[in-house]
Amino acid sequence: MPEGHSVHRIARQFERNFAGRVVAASSPQGRFVEGAAELDGRTVTNVRAVGKQMFLEFDDGLWLRVHLGMYGAWDFAGEILVDPTIASANGRMGQTNQRGTDLADAVFDAAGENSLASIGAPRKARVHVRMSEQTTGLADDDEEWPPPIVGQVRLRLLTESTCADLRGPTACVLQTPDEVAATIAELGPDPLVDDIDEGEERFTAVVGRKPTPIGQLLMDPKVVSGIGNVYRAELLFRARQNPHTPGREVAQDVVRGIWRDWVGLLRIGVETGQMMTMDNLDPEAYRRAMAHRDDRHWVYHRAGLPCRVCGTAIVVEEMATRKLYWCPSCQR
């Protein structure tokens, strides 16, 4: 799934295209009919992302909590204003919209996981994104509106100009403000939500107390928010840390280093939409990394391949039901 960076990107899209607008809500699939009826006709008043959870606030303190889980995704269609803090992967999108083609490139860059048309589980964009005329001149009046329903759509949120379809979420529920607060209180620190230093203290304190392997702690949303299976493997490699070491036995400066590294990787992930976890790539390596996901990582998805640093075969094993990739030589 979408690790933490994707959810922050989605939240920014909602802020940009839905905040302050009245929405028509429906559940074409039929599994969220009552909830959709509650939301229908309300105005979006707030958007929050914490870890992999996203919260949309509507009139009168009614909140929608969405967790995409492993397979969930949001598909956006219609006229989409792109948040200027979300750059396209290759940096074509500038701070302003003066050059409409740049913006169009960014949005139509829909084939990859950095797509602005579909954020979530990797899948081909199947909705056409139409830009407003003044930014692209590409507006297509033949476009069907609202867009046809394709596949299983749990929730459709529709403004006059923008459509967001939610498919395959693990959680899609209405909450009261108290329930939202309780949900967030159970989550570990998120570098984009919490004060960085406070987050570091919380994370370090919890890890330093646990007998659980550090490789499991990084995947526990109560310990730290937003890290998933890719970032886990990569953070541990970058720290040259053995995943099996109990949290409380990991040197404290290593734990702090992992937190600080996560702060940086998350920021890059949100800005680029890519889980780029390798540094200082030469131009050729950078080109490869952008073209192929497997060329973007030190160890993730590289079982049996030689470690990029020492040449030892990368190992894959199951840790807490998830595949864990690591270099037994570098990570001692």
Partner DNA sequence: CATCGATGTTGAG
Partner DNA sequence: TCAACCTCGATGG
Report the SS3 class of residue 112.
coil
Complex with DNA: residue 21 or 48, whichever CB lies closer: 48
Site string for DNA, 63-102 (x = CB under 7 A): ----x-xxx-------------------------------
| Contact status: 302 vs DNA (CB under 7 A) | no
Rounded CA separation 123/311 (Å):
33
Cβ 226 to DNA, closest distance in Å?
8
Complex with DNA: residue 153 or 327, whichever CB lies closer: 153
Cβ 36 to DNA, closest distance in Å?
14
- CA atoms 201, 181, 193, 66: torsion sign: positive
Any idea which residue has 């229908």 for tokens? 40
**C-alpha dist (Å) from residue 248 to 213, 320, 329:** 9, 18, 22
Q: Are the C-beta atoms of 118 and 73 separated by less than 8 Å?
A: yes
Cβ 128 to DNA, closest distance in Å?
15
Strands (E), 27-88: 44-50, 53-58, 62-67, 73-79
Check residue 321 and give left, alpha or beta (phi > 0: left; psi -120 to 50: alpha). left
Radius of gyration of the chain from its Cα atoms, rounded to whole angstroms: 21
The β-bridge partners of 316 are 325
| Contact status: 31 vs DNA (CB under 7 A) | yes
Q: Using CB under 7 A, which of 293, 295, 313, 329 touches DNA?
A: 293
| Contact status: 9 vs DNA (CB under 7 A) | no
Name which of residues 178 to 237 contact DNA (CB under 7 A). 186, 219, 221-222, 227-230
Q: Using CB under 7 A, which of 61, 151, 306, 328 touches DNA?
A: 151
Q: Residue count at the site for DNA (CB under 7 A)?
A: 39
- Give pairs for 208-211: CB < 8 Å, separation 24+: 208/247, 208/248, 208/250, 208/252, 208/255, 209/247, 209/248, 210/246, 210/247, 210/248, 211/246, 211/247, 211/248
Rounded CA separation 262/219 (Å):
13
Rounded CA separation 174/235 (Å):
34
Q: Which stretch binds DNA (CB under 7 A): 56-64, 84-92, 237-245, 320-328?
A: 320-328
Cβ 326 to DNA, closest distance in Å?
14
Q: Using CB under 7 A, which of 16, 48, 126, 240 touches DNA?
A: 126
| Contact status: 111 vs DNA (CB under 7 A) | no
| Contact status: 244 vs DNA (CB under 7 A) | no
Q: Using CB under 7 A, which of 35, 51, 189, 243 touches DNA?
A: 51
Complex with DNA: residue 135 or 274, whichever CB lies closer: 274
Q: Which stretch binds DNA (CB under 7 A): 139-147, 235-243, 278-286, 318-326?
A: 318-326
Rounded CA separation 180/183 (Å):
5
Q: Given the rule CB under 7 A, which residues bind DNA?
A: 1-3, 6, 29, 31, 51-52, 67, 69-71, 113, 121-124, 126, 151-152, 154, 167-168, 170, 186, 219, 221-222, 227-230, 275, 293, 301, 320-323
